[in-house]
Amino acid sequence: MADAASSLAPQPSGATGVLVLADGTVVWGMGFGAEGAHVGEVCFNTAMTGYQEVMTDPSYAAQIVTFTFPHIGNVGVNDEDLEAQVDGAVGCVVREAVTEPSNFRSQGTFGAWLASKGKIGLSGVDTRALTRRIRLSGAPNAVIAHNADGKFDIPALLKRAQEWPGLEGMDLARVVTRSASEDWQGGVWTLGKGYARSPRAKRPHVVAIDYGAKDNIFRNLDKAGAHVTVVPAQTSLDEVLALKPDGVFLSNGPGDPAATGIYAVPVIQGLLERDVPLFGICLGHQMLGLAAGAKTVKMHQGHRGANHPVKRLEDGVVEITSMNHGFAVDNATLPEGVVETHVSLFDGSNCGIAITGKRAFGVQYHPEASPGPMDSFYLFERFVGMLG
């Protein structure tokens, strides 16, 4: 139904949804989920599974996810596959209309669930053409809108897309972080058993700073043998140290790391000075890089999917990883004493660092997966193994 290459395309008969890009491109389709309009950055995700986890990943805050896999929503939704209770993606764009769910775990339809979360869906779109456009021109700002009567004020939607400032300079961690500390309970999920229960035995204590974390991170830290306390993004150095951590975890999250780093980097630097073991992923990895003296950059299109090959430089092993990021540590700015440990085999961008003389490392990808492969679970074990 939609032509992602056309500009100011006329509305097809029956269209109830639209994506209006800041450059004037209008992509029509069938709306589902919540009605209304949301502004955000349009990205694409290549994962074939895990759409509910993607839509509830706080790292997607203020983003509109284009799914390249054509059949999204067809296995329904369930309460176990939520990654966070806070806002993640504001909407999604899919190729095929969402059918009735066909899965024994389903507790409801994708469309009804999106509506309950205030998220907008747009189906009937040529997602291949839209993805190619993003790859060529970069991730655009846009407004996604759904109205059952098919009435839209396109000039007003275009104006809104053009006036939105974009993700650069935007601190979203403070928006999606939890408001209070939490003693984390529960391990990873298995079919037929649900989520594991945390053992009561004394374990190394990890304080996890929540910049927009996925719950599966904490489950994997628990599986690796840690007791986890989760704290809000703006927790001070003194407050972190008062919890007497054996190590500190720096979580994933949305927005510009340089903006979040204004309050987060001094805390991380204080932890480095005290030689507290640190492990960061995604946004946490980027802020560890900033704390060590590197810089971050906005990527052309970002990396989002569950099939990204990353080379581990110490031994040449290639890990297939889950990724979701639009910013990266600029490997050309790594200072002396910061070692690059992993690189993307797609574009050579930085995917891991370690700080010489410190028990501190980070990776750009998501070793907790959900969705995605579990090639990188060893990183949780490596971190917890430092804490003895």
**Are residues 179 and 159 located together in one domain of the fold?**
no
Residue 312 lies in a domain: yes
Quote the pTM value.
Answer: 0.95
Q: Do the beta carbons of residue 84 and residue 370 sit within 8 Å? A: no
Query: For 40-91, how does the pLDDT look when each residue is reduced to its tens digit (9 = 90+)?
Result: 999 999 999 999 999 999 999 999 999 999 999 999 999 999 999 888 999 9
When the pLDDT of each residue in the chain is averaged and rounded to a whole number, the result is 95
**Are residues 121 and 177 located together in one domain of the fold?**
no
Which residues does residue 36 pair with via DSSP β-bridges, in sequence order? 146
> Quick one: pLDDT band at residue 7, thresholds 50, 70, 90?
low
**Are residues 247 and 378 located together in one domain of the fold?**
yes
Domain of residue 343: give its range.
Answer: 173-385
368 flagged as catalytic = yes
Last residue of a domain, one of 141, 163, 185: 163
282 flagged as catalytic = yes
How many helical (H) and strand (E) elements, i.e. helices and strands, does the chain have? 10, 19
Residue with tokens 């980097």: 265
308 flagged as catalytic = no
pLDDT of residue 3: 44
The catalytic position among 92, 282, 308, 351 is 282
Residue 5 lies in a domain: no
pLDDT of residue 1: 39
Q: Could you give the CA distance from residue 386 to residue 388 in angstroms, rounded to a whole number? A: 6
What is the DSSP secondary-structure string of 15-39? --EEEEETTSBEEEEEEEES-EEEE
> With 70 as the cut, is the pLDDT of residue 5 above it?
no
Q: Could you give the CA distance from residue 258 to residue 120 in angstroms, rounded to a whole number? A: 29
pLDDT of residue 387: 96
Query: For 302-321, how does the pLDDT look when each residue is reduced to its tens digit (9 = 90+)?
Result: 999 999 999 999 999 999 99
Which residues does residue 21 pair with via DSSP β-bridges, in sequence order? 142
Residues 6+ apart with CB under 8 A from 242: none
Q: Could you give the CA distance from residue 296 to residue 264 in angstroms, rounded to a whole number? A: 14
Q: Could you give the CA distance from residue 31 to residue 15 in angstroms, rounded to a whole number? A: 8
pLDDT of residue 6: 45
- Which CATH number is 350's domain given? 3.40.50.880
> With 90 as the cut, is the pLDDT of residue 198 above it?
no
Residue 6 lies in a domain: no
